[in-house]
Chains A and B, each alone.
Chain A
């Protein structure tokens, strides 16, 4: 008891180590202030008639408040709905496939008789994760380009007409989903596999003694034990439902105009508006994205907290 009381007292006093730790954390704190918190206040650009000339602070302070005009413009354009549909639509597919496929594959790879082979497969499947989207875009180009691409060569050797793939919007939802899975599968598989291998083996020993089949072990031991990680991944991805991997939707379709309706997501739109200097609309879109993203994370977390307190993030 005594020790606890004295400890409490010293805790309230600022000590030498507090100064030192503050100094140690100072550079990173400054980084956070400059690169994370300053932009948070920058979102007021969305409510102003922002001009790009002159000093930044001048611009932000002196440009006129215009309320929700920027948002009005945004929603009057047809872009808004197409882009929101694309962003949310692709994300829903990615969330479902992004949990079902890697969990299934992680369960499968853990069962292979040969550990060596399993390791080789994992290593090979992890490779795409380390390629940048620019490289991936070059890879896709090698397959899909009109006059030299491998797919068209195969088509013509089968006696079919070559297609100009970068003009055919109807195929791209499949391509984009495929490329996203291709790039991320190995990584997510390892995340789930890490959880599986850290499980207590005595559960399985007991299950085998009780005569549980492989399927029953998976159903009643492995999956319930994985619940926490799966739910966590689910919250994280639901929280990001209004943002997308910019590289996938910008680099892979090579900014082709014919693919606009199927490949433009909020991130791509914001970037394009920024580059074409329609700052007002760009900042309105970016603001919406941040706020909606924040709301989604908190909601997802709140729901999970209601269902299962332990699995919640906050």
Chain B
């Protein structure tokens, strides 16, 4: 057999049938559902009198619409009638079809892409599908994960497979040590800024190099989670000791002999020597600085110390107009500084940065300081487990003492489907994945950044260079 990429190995091992040159019938080991991209799939299933083929390989979560007010989870009530209907509808669908559900009042409830790895549902070599674009997250554990639409959700429910258009292979190599005060979020924003919002469109991206190898399993999830913002169909990282240690801890369902056997298999999950990538990029970790977005697309990002782009200096008139429009929406002046820009809100959370490591890195900046009087700041843990752990470690108290709101888990203000919404004109330092126009609220202004940078913004009341804050206390 000719040398294959990791991506091709995963596709090959899950191909039920080759449909034509570009399409295969791809088997899903696991399918995850949420309350807002699955209802019409279940309805259609019922209308056609079809059943769910493999209920045990389904997992459902109420995560996008859920209020995050700090009442106990058992007492949590969704007051918005359409949202409450979505939640009860998912509950009914899961009950009728025998699907495991992390419901509104479940103490382990959280964001789908946080709770699935946390409960050991994601293992190297799996194919995992979900009606959510950030399903690319699972590549961090060597699983092929990607988002699908509702018609495809229906197809997977009925057949446990997907009619899948094959992607091309892209390799992104990053070598070197991330500079002090920077994190994987800064790295991924740099990558997206360099290759563009459609730079990886049509590709499955494999991240490799010494920088990636040095990342924790959770940091890798942040990286793979954001790959879709460069258009990637999937992201992958070769499973290694960090992956195996994470799985060992989380996937407690595997017996000792099973784990040993599994390891032998997982160690084969890499791109063969000589495997051909259709395109390759390389970056040096030394180029990474604390990054922020200045515009309305995740690729409109720059080092926090750089100047805001000037449309007059753009490559062509169309590019200039695109910059102008983003600056107008964001209320920013061409050529100005991002440093010192006053902010109104801080949001720490989401499937990108709502994990325990993210909260630790934010708390490290927050400790002993106080949120600026002009800022409303909230921390929304990614799951009940993350919340509990943060409380045990004393992180929650650090946030509370500093004046942060310590909330219940959910997607919350990442896409603002619940009542955590920016008011028009409000400017938010956000650890989320998308700064699209209106994403966090109509005419709201989102600046994407790392948890540490968001924490620094909360304390100083403006966009700040977290490296300076750390130095002050060094």
Q: Do A and B actually bind?
A: no
A: residues with CB less than 8 A from B are: none
B: residues with CB less than 8 A from A are: none
